[in-house]
Structure 1
Amino acid sequence: MDTSVELVIRKLLSAVDTYRATDLHLSVGNPPMMRVAGKLAPVPDQPLLTPSFMETIVLSWLDDDDRERLYEKKDLTVAKTFENKKRFRISVFYQQGHLSAALMLVPDIIPTVQQLGLPVAAQQLASVNSGLVLVIGPYGSQQDLTIASFIESRNQNTQSHIVTIEEPVEVLFNDNRSVIDQREVGKDVPSVAQGLKFILEEDVDVVMVTDLSDHDAMRMALQVAGSGKVIYAIMNATTIVGALTTIIHSYPGEDQDQARSELAGNLAGVINQRLVTSVAGDKVMLAEVMVPNDPIKNIIQTGELAQLPNAMQTSVGDPGIRTMTLAVQEAAQRGLITRQDVDRLVPQQRRLT
């Protein structure tokens, strides 16, 4: 790589470190931009990025297989550790015919569930014996850190064989009391669904999936959960009702009764989380948690999912239930968010369907 390009990369990484940025955005015709305290700002003293610079820098981050996939699909996500030991999730894509990249910093240290600000109702899901645990929420709500914290908790406290299926491998785990195998889709397994199928035939205790998005993978995830293993998975959904509906609809119509039965029997819990800006300007985690009790299992079994919000509201005293409304109100009582935030967030959360 051209030494001048290497120098720019070092300066950009140094700026991310100095300003404690979480993201770096690179696109032709713009200066490098970084996200600091939730807001985008240009990296100081950097020129507008050129097509040749972006071509050089992006391709230097990719191996031959990655380049082939990029040319074919025009979009690619990889992870890379740079010489300053910082690791980034890198999304590469085209815009107006030019390569662009968005880099998200991967934390050096995996936070605990408590450090993430998750409630006690969510913390118990770190030690379930079997079943499917879903983590959902809007993009950028740290779902990846939540399931990573669960895996690290088990790594430190149990003697387990843990397998992750990731797109790409982001957080790098170090074996402690457990053995952890990290498999990347496209390199180690052909797909999430196929990776889960392999796991059914292997001696595995705990599974982590960072993107449970296609129907085959959803059906395989329920099979894995039903086999007595624990599976933590991120789903692209913003409500609990929406997530469960998507899983049930991943089955053909004639099999959806079976899907509801399997889901009712094997769902260990759902965490719906989101980050909001606090009064102090930093980020606060708000989390809704549902560990199914008997009434909720019955609702899932019968398919009347529209009743879930009311069932959760009437089960607030249950240690495994925490509504988003309660999370928002408690954050306001602690002075973390304003009354205006409550007015904005609570009505939205009541529309769980």
Structure 2
Amino acid sequence: MAQITAFFQLLHKNKGSDLHLSSGQQPFIRLHGELVRVTHKELSDQELREILAEIVPEEKMREFDSTGDVDFGLEIPDLARYRGNLFRQSRGISAVFREVPQIIESIDALGLPPLLKELAMQPKGLVLVTGPTGSGKSTTLAAMLDHANEERRDHIITIEDPIEFVHQPKGCLINQREVGRDTRDFKTALRGALREDPDIILVGEMRDLETIQLALEAAETGHLVLSTVHTISAAKTVDRIIEVFPANMQAQIRTSLADSLRAIISQVLFKRKDRPGRVAALEILTATSPVRNLIRENKTFQLTSVIQTGKANGMRLLDDDIQTSLEKGYISAEDAHAQAFDKDRFKPFLSS
């Protein structure tokens, strides 16, 4: 058994999300959003490298030695899958492992709105799940994909870096491709996917101009495309996508995005106050006719107002959802105030 397995077992037993190993430091695990020090000696750079060499593929170690950073996927039998990242820092090598549950929780079990089931059943279009790192985007997408897998009879292709949740075919044929192992990069795999008769394409992250352009093309030409963007609101997501492109292409991209978009789900994870665990607060923008017009006309600053008046279409503002969780006693006033856009709205809830 690899030395690192004991740390993974500790993480799993305590229902933590991440394992941090850093040269010159004791190990840490992230438990319900907070880092907790593990009772263990400090790891030297040499000790940590030897521990990692037992489980990191040789080609990934060579890539790390060459570049100073590398991502990879890892499975520990009878325990869980992990998304790993190695990086070089001032004291030597460091590693972070995110545990990926073997069981994919349903949309209902996660407490997500039923609208996400409807989005997973769309015949075509672009659905984006956004939020900061560690906000549960992959978990939400996995739940949506699992719903489609159960209810549809289609071909699903995922393009991930690395593969996180492993989907077993139910009603659908599923092919999962890992960047660096099965394909060179996102854009190469996405370009290929358009010739592979998919109905649903999951793109782990829309990182660059060409990937975004290909995703929009796929969404416009009869495919349902699910992906993530590292943004903190629906309006900022629209702006980020358009601003990736040079000025002379932006009008065209606004039109393409307006036509293909189905919804943007922006989420933030909170530590629960009432019991161990975490809860998500969501902002949801659905692509109604007014939303499409605002995107085409470059008036994204008005999207917040449309979300406020769009509850009948499943829309919600992040601050409204945060307040709902606060009033139900799920989260603390301090956390609500810290994550909200309108800080003044939550000041009355703070203890003096």
TM-score in same-fold range (> 0.5): yes
Cα distance in 1 for partners of 2:32, 2:239 equals 35
Q: Contact 1:15 / 1:43 at 8 angstroms: preserved in 2?
A: no
**CA deviation map 1:278-315 (0-9, x unaligned):** 22253111011111111111001111111111121122
The residue number in structure 1 matching 2:237 is: 243
The residue number in structure 2 matching 1:148 is: 142
The CA deviation at 1:246 is: 1.8
The residue number in structure 1 matching 2:288 is: 293
Question: How well do the aligned residues superpose, as a CA RMSD in angstroms?
Answer: 2.0
Pair 1:163 & 2:157 matched: yes
Q: Which moved more, 1:138-147 or 1:339-348?
A: 339-348
Q: Which moved more, 1:276-285 or 1:199-208?
A: 276-285
The residue number in structure 2 matching 1:32 is: 27
Tell me the amino acid that sits aligned with residue 243 of structure 1: T
The CA deviation at 1:339 is: 4.4
Tell me the amino acid that sits aligned with residue 5 of structure 2: R
Tell me the amino acid that sits aligned with residue 334 of structure 1: K
Pair 1:220 & 2:214 matched: yes
Could you say if the C-alpha distance between residues 340 and 63 of structure 1 is closer, same or farther in structure 2, counting changes exceeding 3 Å? Answer: closer
Cα distance in 1 for partners of 2:178, 2:8 equals 25
The CA deviation at 1:213 is: 1.3
Cα distance in 2 for partners of 1:31, 1:40 equals 12
Pair 1:135 & 2:129 matched: yes
Could you say if the C-alpha distance between residues 219 and 148 of structure 1 is closer, same or farther in structure 2, counting changes exceeding 3 Å? Answer: same
Q: Contact 2:233 / 2:283 at 8 angstroms: preserved in 1?
A: no
SS in 1 for 2:109: helix
Could you say if the C-alpha distance between residues 349 and 122 of structure 1 is closer, same or farther in structure 2, counting changes exceeding 3 Å? Answer: farther
Could you say if the C-alpha distance between residues 25 and 266 of structure 1 is closer, same or farther in structure 2, counting changes exceeding 3 Å? Answer: same
Cα distance in 1 for partners of 2:66, 2:5 equals 30
The CA deviation at 1:262 is: 0.8
Pair 1:202 & 2:196 matched: yes
Pair 1:77 & 2:78 matched: no
Pair 1:312 & 2:307 matched: yes
Q: Contact 1:121 / 1:289 at 8 angstroms: preserved in 2?
A: no
Cα distance in 1 for partners of 2:294, 2:131 equals 22
**CA deviation map 1:183-220 (0-9, x unaligned):** 11122121111111111222100011111111111111
The CA deviation at 1:227 is: 1.0
The residue number in structure 1 matching 2:84 is: 90
Q: Contact 1:118 / 1:286 at 8 angstroms: preserved in 2?
A: no
Q: Which moved more, 1:297-306 or 1:281-290?
A: 281-290
Cα distance in 2 for partners of 1:349, 1:265 equals 34
The residue number in structure 2 matching 1:321 is: 315
Q: Which moved more, 1:215-224 or 1:52-61?
A: 52-61
SS in 1 for 2:104: coil
Q: Which moved more, 1:192-201 or 1:274-283?
A: 274-283
Percent identity reads 28
Could you say if the C-alpha distance between residues 53 and 343 of structure 1 is closer, same or farther in structure 2, counting changes exceeding 3 Å? Answer: closer
SS in 2 for 1:118: coil
Could you say if the C-alpha distance between residues 13 and 183 of structure 1 is closer, same or farther in structure 2, counting changes exceeding 3 Å? Answer: same
**CA deviation map 1:240-263 (0-9, x unaligned):** 122111211233322221111111
Pair 1:190 & 2:184 matched: yes
SS in 2 for 1:62: coil
Pair 1:112 & 2:106 matched: yes
TM-score when scaled to structure 1? 0.92
SS in 1 for 2:227: strand
Cα distance in 2 for partners of 1:302, 1:343 equals 33
The CA deviation at 1:343 is: 4.2
Could you say if the C-alpha distance between residues 339 and 49 of structure 1 is closer, same or farther in structure 2, counting changes exceeding 3 Å? Answer: closer
The residue number in structure 1 matching 2:10 is: 15
Could you say if the C-alpha distance between residues 345 and 101 of structure 1 is closer, same or farther in structure 2, counting changes exceeding 3 Å? Answer: closer
Cα distance in 1 for partners of 2:51, 2:270 equals 33
- Could you tell me which of 175, 181, 185 is aligned with 1:181? 175
Cα distance in 2 for partners of 1:24, 1:195 equals 30
Tell me the amino acid that sits aligned with residue 290 of structure 2: P
- Could you tell me which of 250, 265, 271 is aligned with 2:265? 271
Cα distance in 2 for partners of 1:165, 1:9 equals 28
Could you say if the C-alpha distance between residues 348 and 196 of structure 1 is closer, same or farther in structure 2, counting changes exceeding 3 Å? Answer: farther
Alignment length (residue pairs): 344
Tell me the amino acid that sits aligned with residue 45 of structure 2: P
Cα distance in 2 for partners of 1:100, 1:341 equals 29
Cα distance in 1 for partners of 2:233, 2:290 equals 19
The CA deviation at 1:156 is: 1.3
**CA deviation map 1:320-343 (0-9, x unaligned):** 311112212221232223445444
Please show how residues 247-258 of structure 1 align to structure 2 within 5 Å: 247-258=241-252
Q: Contact 2:21 / 2:95 at 8 angstroms: preserved in 1?
A: yes
The CA deviation at 1:182 is: 0.7
Q: Which moved more, 1:304-313 or 1:247-256?
A: 247-256
TM-score when scaled to structure 2? 0.92
**CA deviation map 1:119-163 (0-9, x unaligned):** 233342121111010000111111001111111111111111100
